[in-house]
């Protein structure tokens, strides 16, 4: 292996040196974009939660709950925490630099070309934006099913589960950016959020009745309907 000086070890473009694979991602590009998007999303959530508590303290930070299988909860929790960890990894690698040994902890399995990780970066930014937009649209949601009203503003005017879609997009995006064994864990969230979505829809139909059934006819689950029923 060719010896590298200290400056190359802290290069923004990191290469995981492995006999077969390498992961190359330009953190000087991805780092500031991912960090800024994640920070804005966190600030938005904190602001809306503070406003929610100040307007009605009894709401705390809760939203309507519904029973979900333990397996779905486990899949969602593992994948979501992994996603947060990878976002932090990208941010810290950009801020402090890292060598190939650190990147190798992700157990890379492929060497994505520029078009793949750049596409993943674009998809991740889209997912983070959709996540924040969805949360903003739900800012007045009741803390339980009593007094709960159907949210049809923002992305909810076209799709019923934009927040879950944002997680799906982010999971796929992070794997495109850092294809590795660790990032592959994210795919557990795809069926996990799907089962959560099914449970949520059952309870929305139960509590909102015909109003939600009519909403189903006007919207798609994750993508807008090409033809919307009146």
Judge whether 129 lies within some domain: yes
* Domain, as residue range, for 184: 11-52+71-218
Judge whether 57 lies within some domain: no
CATH code, domain with 161:
1.20.120.1630
Q: Is the pLDDT of residue 7 over 50?
A: no
Structure-block tokens of residue 140:
């007045």
pLDDT score, position 12 = 43
Judge whether 29 lies within some domain: yes
Judge whether 170 lies within some domain: yes
Work out the number of other CB atoms within 10 angstroms of the CB of residue 58.
8
Q: Are 119 and 28 in contact (CB under 8 A)?
A: no
Judge whether 2 lies within some domain: no
Judge whether 229 lies within some domain: no
Query: Each residue of 91-127: pLDDT tens digit?
Result: 988 888 765 666 777 888 888 889 999 999 999 999 9
pLDDT score, position 21 = 43
- Token look-up 């780092």 returns 31
Confidence of residue 83 (pLDDT cuts 50, 70, 90): very high
Q: Environment class of residue 89 by beta-carbon count within 10 Å: exposed (0-12), middle (13-18) or buried (19+)? A: buried
pTM: 0.81
Question: Which of 92-96, 144-148, 151-155, 196-200 bottoms out in mean pLDDT, i.e. has the lowest?
Answer: 144-148
Domain count, the chain: 1
Distance CA(215)–CA(197), nearest Å, equals 15
Work out the number of other CB atoms within 10 angstroms of the CB of residue 23.
25
| DSSP category for residue 146 | T
Distance CA(48)–CA(136), nearest Å, equals 7
């Amino acid at each position: 292996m060719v010896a590298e000086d200290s400056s190359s070890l802290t290069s923004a473009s990191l290469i995981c040196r492995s006999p077969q694979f390498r992961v190359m991602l330009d953190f000087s590009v991805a780092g500031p974009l991912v960090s800024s998007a994640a920070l804005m999303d966190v600030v938005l959530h904190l602001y809306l939660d503070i406003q929610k508590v100040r307007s009605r303290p009894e709401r705390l930070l809760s939203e309507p709950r519904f029973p979900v299988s333990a397996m779905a909860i486990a899949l969602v929790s593992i994948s979501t925490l992994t996603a947060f960890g990878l976002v932090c990894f990208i941010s810290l690698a950009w801020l402090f630099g890292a060598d190939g040994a650190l990147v190798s902890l992700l157990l890379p399995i492929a060497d994505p070309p520029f078009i793949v990780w750049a596409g993943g970066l674009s998809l991740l930014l889209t997912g983070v934006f959709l996540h924040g937009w969805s949360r903003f649209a739900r800012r007045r949601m009741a803390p339980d099913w009593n007094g709960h009203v159907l949210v049809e503003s923002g992305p909810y005017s076209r799709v019923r589960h934009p927040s879950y879609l944002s997680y799906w997009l982010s999971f796929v995006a992070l794997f495109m950016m850092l294809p590795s064994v660790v990032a592959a864990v994210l795919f557990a969230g795809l069926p996990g959020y799907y089962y959560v979505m099914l449970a949520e829809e059952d309870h929305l139909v139960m509590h909102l009745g015909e109003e939600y059934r009519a909403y189903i006819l006007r919207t798609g689950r994750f993508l807008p309907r090409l033809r919307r029923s009146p």
